[in-house]
């Protein structure tokens, strides 16, 4: 299977030389947009100097000295900002209204899924997202590690990836589920007890996981209700084992008890958090744990199931998300920006930010900070997310002012990663 994945990547990229032909090598460039958003605030009349893969100067045009022979790129009417950071994606999935999750896991070959993922990676990058946390291959084993390597080696274009590989689930809790007589491939790695958990966490790290993802609850309770999966001791052991090797843990959790156990175990982020209560969010804030609410995934899923948004009454699950988000914001929990992309289309990543503004009353500036400096801080990415000398030259330019109108993020005119231009006016 591993050889097949590598072969598919070679076949997809070798004959066409796509990444190399599209993106010339790094050089020295002076970018002069209408304004610069530095990860915190917007500044008119600023310029940014890039030398090779790093930023070397950021500030008012008069204070940025251009070296001899520099290429000057004027960007009138555009706002230049740090490359956006997607906090929750699945490059090896595609929208569930195209193919159900069960069928993707059970019926699609890994070669097909990797082929799709190469396209998803490029679409993500060209949408302005130069970094992405990819939180589980959903039955595609360690294919995300190969995708990350292909991107890092310049074989295919895509964002810088933080990969979680297979993710961890308690035995019997996940899916797909067919007849009780059939054992079918699962969408994540099953592990239980001390020996099983330590072995699984170490295996994933050894295979290339940058972080560990665990499902702290899932809909495996009586009548399909969502219930906790791992015990408190098991979750704590997962975090302890990962942390001892320098990795953090993220937790899928939607119930108060699943969230509570994950918080006490010491995870770094809670994904979804639909059923979070004020007490649970207060505990999250106390422990310094961020929430990645993924509002776009729930919105998309409800529409796939027949909800006519703006016409029909709001589904109970969406109402619950509004309640939990209001509680999280009121308590002051740190919010990571991530949409659970893969449930909906890759390249449509800005959908999460738009919904946070239109449906959840956050300001464009708030979500822009979340997608840049905020995510960089939460994910321990000190070399990106804001603009300052010495940081990575990951840049995006959009038409208009995204600090006032989040829709400007749809108007991507320039994408640079590591000093290499992948899109330009």
Mean of per-residue pLDDT scores for the chain: 94
370 has a pLDDT exceeding 80: yes
260 has a pLDDT exceeding 50: yes
| Stretch 6-18: mean pLDDT | 42
What is the Cβ-side half-sphere exposure of residue 345, based on CA atoms within 13 angstroms?
8
135 has a pLDDT exceeding 50: yes
Rg for the chain, CA atoms, rounded: 21
- What are the φ and ψ backbone dihedral angles of 206, each rounded to 5 degrees? -65, -30
| Secondary structure (H, E, C), the chain | CHHHHHHHHHHHHCCCCHHHHHCCCCCEEEEEEEEEECCCCEEECEEEEEECCEEEEEEEHHHCCCCCCCEEEEEEEEEEEECEEEEEECCCCCCCCCCCHHHHHHHCCHHHHHHHHHHHHHHHHHCCEEEEEECCCCCCCCHHHHHHHHHHCCCCCCCEEEECCCCEECCCCCCCCCCCCCCCCCCCEECCHHHHHHHHHHHHHHCCCCCEEEECEECCCHHHCCEECCCHHHHHHHHHHHHHCCCCEEEEECCHHHHHHHHHHCCCEEEECCCCCHHHHHHHHHCCCEEECCHHHHHHHHHHCCCCCCCCCCCHHHHHHHHHHHHHHHHCCCECCCCCECCCCCCCCHHHHHHHHHCCCCCHHHHHHHHHHHHHHHCCCCCCCCCCCCCECCEEEEECCCCCCHHHHHCEEEEEECCEEEECC
pLDDT band at 181 (very low <50, low <70, confident <90, very high): confident
25 has a pLDDT exceeding 70: no
| Predicted local confidence at residue 183, as pLDDT | 87
| Predicted local confidence at residue 66, as pLDDT | 87
- What are the φ and ψ backbone dihedral angles of 27, each rounded to 5 degrees? -155, -170
178 has a pLDDT exceeding 50: yes
| Predicted local confidence at residue 283, as pLDDT | 98
| Stretch 269-290: mean pLDDT | 98
| Predicted local confidence at residue 23, as pLDDT | 56
Asked if residue 176 has a cis previous peptide bond (ω within 30° of 0), the answer is yes
pLDDT one-digit tens code per residue, 301-322: 999 999 999 999 999 999 999 9
pLDDT band at 21 (very low <50, low <70, confident <90, very high): very low
**Structural domains of the chain ordered from first start:** 18-83+386-423 (2.30.40.10), 84-378 (3.20.20.140)
């Amino acid at each position: 299977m591993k050889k097949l994945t590598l072969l598919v990547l070679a076949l997809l990229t070798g004959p066409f030389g796509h990444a190399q032909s599209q993106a010339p090598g790094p050089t020295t460039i002076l970018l002069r947009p209408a304004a610069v958003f530095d990860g915190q605030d917007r500044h008119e009349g600023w310029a940014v100097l890039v030398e090779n893969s790093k930023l070397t100067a950021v500030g008012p045009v008069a204070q940025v000295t251009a070296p001899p022979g520099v290429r000057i790129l004027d960007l009138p009417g555009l706002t230049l900002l740090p490359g956006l950071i997607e906090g929750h994606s699945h490059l090896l999935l595609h929208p569930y209204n195209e193919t159900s999750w069960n069928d993707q896991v059970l019926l699609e070959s890994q070669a097909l899924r990797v082929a799709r993922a190469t396209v998803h990676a490029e679409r993500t990058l060209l949408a302005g997202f130069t970094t992405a946390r990819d939180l589980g291959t959903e039955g595609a084993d360690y294919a995300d590690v190969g995708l990350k390597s292909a991107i890092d080696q310049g074989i295919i274009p895509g964002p810088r990836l933080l990969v979680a590989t297979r993710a961890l689930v308690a035995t019997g809790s996940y899916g797909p589920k067919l007849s009780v007589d059939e054992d079918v491939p699962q969408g994540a790695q099953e592990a239980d007890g001390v020996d099983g958990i330590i072995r699984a966490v170490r295996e994933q790290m050894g295979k290339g996981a940058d972080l560990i993802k665990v499902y702290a609850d899932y809909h495996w309770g009586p009548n399909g209700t969502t219930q906790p999966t791992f015990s408190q001791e098991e979750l704590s052991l997962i975090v302890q084992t990962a942390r001892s090797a320098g990795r953090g843990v993220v937790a899928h959790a939607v119930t108060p008890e699943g969230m509570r156990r994950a918080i006490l175990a010491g995870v770094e982020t809670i994904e979804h958090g639909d059923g979070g209560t004020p007490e649970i969010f207060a505990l999250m804030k106390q422990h310094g744990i961020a929430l990645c609410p993924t509002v776009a995934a729930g919105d998309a899923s409800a529409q796939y199931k027949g909800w006519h948004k703006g016409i029909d009454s709001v589904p109970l699950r969406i109402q619950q998300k509004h309640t939990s988000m209001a509680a999280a914001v009121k308590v002051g929990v740190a919010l990571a920006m991530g949409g659970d992309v893969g449930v909906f289309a890759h390249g449509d990543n800005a959908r999460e930010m738009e919904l946070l503004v239109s449906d959840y009353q956050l300001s464009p500036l708030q979500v822009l900070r979340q997608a840049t400096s905020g995510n960089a801080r939460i994910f321990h990415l000190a070399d990106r997310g804001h603009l300052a000398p010495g940081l990575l030259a990951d840049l995006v330019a959009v038409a208009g002012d995204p600090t006032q109108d989040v829709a400007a993020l749809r108007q991507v005119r320039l994408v640079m990663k590591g000093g290499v231009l992948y899109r330009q006016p």
